Amino acid sequence: VTSDPLDDRLKEALHQLAATRDVPLTVDPLAAVRRRVRVRRAKHRAPVVIGLAAGLVAIVVAAGVILRDGDQTGRLRAGRSHRAPPPSIYSGVTMLDPGPLAPRRNAAFTWTGGELVIWGGVSDQFVTGGRRPYQSFTDGAAYNPETEAWRRMPAAPLPAGDAVSVASATTSEVVIARGTGTAAWSREGNSWRALSPAPRPVEDLERLSDATLISASANAMLDVRSGRWRTLSEPPATLKQTHTAWTGRDLIVVGQSANQSFVALSYRPENDSWRALRSPTALSANAVASGWTGRDLVAVDYGLHAESYDPTTDSWTPLPQIPARFFEWYPGLHAEPNSVTAFLANGFAVVDGSRRWTVMPYRLLDIEPITFGRAAPATAPSATQGRFFVSGVKHDGSATLALVDPLQLARSTRQIQVGVATVTVAEGTKVGTWTTDTNSNRARVAVNVATPAGACQIGSAEPRAPDVNGAPSGWQSDPTGRAWSTHATSTDTVDVSCDSAATTRDMVGHIELPGSAP
């Protein structure tokens, strides 16, 4: 259909026709729309009200059972606390079709500007928990969020194996590497082009331009057009577990040196030169994860310390320690210009402009908690700044994919993760300050909340060494009834103290402990 004089006349005539429709503004349209929203919500809420009534009956019956058993000291058995129904949709989370691929880790997971591409990876005990045999994947697929459709990629000229798969997108292709094997997938042709092997295994891959990619682990640059790698000058230190960020002029590389210290380097392609950068003050080199916000590199370590590096001033700035359980599995990190999201063992934490972390349970993303032996979810940017894709594994072992707006989720969530405790807060509750209190014997994270019924502090503590310090027990209250605590696991305690005994009792009823998971 092309524009022509008739089209123009039609358009003009139709606009005139529309202008003849006098719209009486006797009703405030915004008020009318709001009224309809309320009516629609009330309709949707009706089944929930019925469900709540049924739940209330169940709680009354359960309370009767507890009293009948002679438990009159405020003790509840751990694992019997109230569990909120698993929600399907949260504000800030859009669950997407996870696609045709089997769940996996260490896969190439990247955004091309129009599609999310997943290729390779492995399925091992870190993914399946030992439920299925090991498998190394050489398949891939691309997801278009506009059409909500997946398309499979053809067989790639890349090897199978344990090596991590990494990817970087140019305008027309996605370059994927596994080990030293490298190939380019054409988005338009859905076909592969084999490239020369890299001089060393490729574990990171940054796009310098449409024609050039760079890998710190391979210490080489790839000319995408010719498909050939060129080795860089030798860096001042050889690093393991490297993480990289491209500033637009320099490649920042952080990693673990031979003596296991945290080292930061910078490589400038224009003169093929390396220089050492300042080191962070608190970060260890142990299990570091990092992300690039567009102006800072933010990194977290195994001890949940977090710092950000500003390349323009060559300086590190500490962020508050992430208020989550220690002894976490390898953290994951995703940075956007306005937020940083850290993926931990029991939950994920979002820091916003107020430098305040909010820790939330994985169930908000329909992902199974990452206990020891689990892989952190994979993330990739999306078309919209501030939102990103998250792929993980559900409780049933299947793959899950979500589009997340971390700031909106952190602002609106009604579930928070305090150590090992998952807390469902009442509507209208304000989540206040999070703290981490560490001494030589134990570490305790706590959060202050102001509920409509009163103020509470919820804490969760663990010993500094992963030894056994007790058997799980029921909740115990102090003589006032305002402070309750429990050995939630063999190593962790959870405590709640509120303004009144009634508020504490209600709050305890909204805490789930690991044993209460289905």
Partner 1 sequence: MVEFAGWDSRELLTERTVEIFGRCANRRCCETILDVMAAADDVEACVRLEYERLVQVVAVATGSVADAQDAVQEAFARAWERAVRGGDFTHLSGWVVTVALNVVRGGRRRAGIEAKSRGHVAWTVDQLDVETLVDLDHAVRTLPGRQRDVVVLYYLLDLDVATVAELLGVSPGTVKTGLSRAREKLAHALRDREGDPS
- The site for partner 1 (CB under 8 A) is made up of 1, 5-7, 9-11, 13-25, 27, 29-30, 32-33, 36-37, 40-41, 89-94, 146, 295-296, 308, 310, 313, 315, 317, 338-339, 352-355, 384-387, 403, 405, 407-408, 411
Task: For partner 1, give the closer residue by CB, 342 or 496.
Answer: 342
Q: How far is the CB of 436 from partner 1 (least distance, A)?
A: 19
- Which residue shows structure tokens 């001033």? 313
Q: How far is the CB of 295 from partner 1 (least distance, A)?
A: 8
Task: For partner 1, give the closer residue by CB, 16 or 440.
Answer: 16
Burial 390-420 (b: 16+ CB within 10 A, else e): bbbbbeeeebbbbbbbbbbbbeebbbbbbbb
Task: For partner 1, give the closer residue by CB, 412 or 490.
Answer: 412
Q: How far is the CB of 335 from partner 1 (least distance, A)?
A: 11
Could you give the CA distance from residue 351 to residue 357 in angstroms, rounded to a whole number? 4
Q: How far is the CB of 334 from partner 1 (least distance, A)?
A: 15
Task: For partner 1, give the closer residue by CB, 92 or 140.
Answer: 92
Alpha-carbon distances of 147 from 97, 250, 291, rounded to whole Å:
11, 36, 29
Task: For partner 1, give the closer residue by CB, 32 or 211.
Answer: 32
DSSP labels, 199-264? SS-----EESSSSEEEETTTTEEEETTTTEEEEPPPPSS--EEEEEEE-SS-EEEEEE-TTS-EEE
Could you tell me how far CA 15 lies from the centroid of its own chain?
48
Q: How far is the CB of 15 from partner 1 (least distance, A)?
A: 7
Written as six digits, the tokens of 378 are 């994979």
Strand partners, 186: 173, 191
Could you give the CA distance from residue 286 to residue 154 in angstroms, rounded to a whole number? 38
Positive or negative torsion for Cα 51, 56, 61, 63 = positive
Q: How far is the CB of 401 from partner 1 (least distance, A)?
A: 14
Task: For partner 1, give the closer residue by CB, 17 or 468.
Answer: 17
Task: For partner 1, give the closer residue by CB, 127 or 367.
Answer: 367
Q: How far is the CB of 14 from partner 1 (least distance, A)?
A: 5
Could you give the CA distance from residue 337 to residue 296 in angstroms, rounded to a whole number? 9
Could you give the CA distance from residue 264 to residue 59 in angstroms, rounded to a whole number? 55
